[in-house]
Amino acid sequence: MDFARASLLESHSRYYEAAELHLSENRPLEAVKAFIKDTSNANSTTRAADTILEYLWRRCSFRITAKDAFVDDSLRHFIDLADQLQTNKLDPLSRDLVCINRPLVHQLN
């Protein structure tokens, strides 16, 4: 039901609200996609970056290799979405944290 509501919000270009609904329903990947679509809200890029970084923090650890991390395709999707972020809209710390994690994908290619 809430997925349908989120789709309706997105169809009316209410991406930020849709993204927050996705987050409340534990769908972070869908949330990041919606945040990235939202170009009207200055906080959307920050929320997208925060969601990506939180997912990476939960999914990866210092003892996990990039190859092991990518057994699940969702991590690759999050890294790909990080490449779509407008990093110039992020504060320096968030921008650095996002940029540090980007090479994970390239290690596997």
Q: Please say if the pLDDT value at position 57 is more than 70.
A: yes
DSSP assignments along the chain, one per residue: -HHHHHHHHHHTT-HHHHHHHHHHTT-HHHHHHHHHH--S-THHHHHHHHHHHHHHHHH--TT--HHHHTTSHHHHHHHHHHTTS-GGGS-HHHHHHHHHHTHHHHHH-
pLDDT of residue 24: 95
- Confidence (pTM): 0.85
pLDDT over 60 (residue 42): yes
